[in-house]
Structure 1
């Protein structure tokens, strides 16, 4: 099965760029996520982490 896929992929011109693009997208996404985590304000992190425990807003969603 793998020989069939590998043989088919080798016949496509320019296919070798796709793994590099995928790696680049992966690296950029996690680098940006890493940067956001370390530059986020502590107040924002505390506010967002308390959302599931906030009972005042639960009444607004009950119909």
Structure 2
């Protein structure tokens, strides 16, 4: 049997793709606004973290 056979038997299964899309879009927008809201000095600090020697 194919996987789609089992999905056809579940009532309300069409909600899951919509929920997944909305979750992805909300997460993407939140991350985008967070990145746009950061100041340049903070971004430069994060860029240089791998190169800093804190011994």
Number of residues paired by the alignment?
Answer: 55
RMSD: 1.1
Unmatched segments (≥5 aa) in structure 2: none
Larger Cα-atom Rg? 1
Residue of structure 1 in register with 2:36 after alignment: 38
Normalised to the residue count of structure 1, the TM-score between the two structures is 0.79
Normalised to the residue count of structure 2, the TM-score between the two structures is 0.89
Unmatched segments (≥5 aa) in structure 1: none
Moved >4 Å (runs of 4+): none
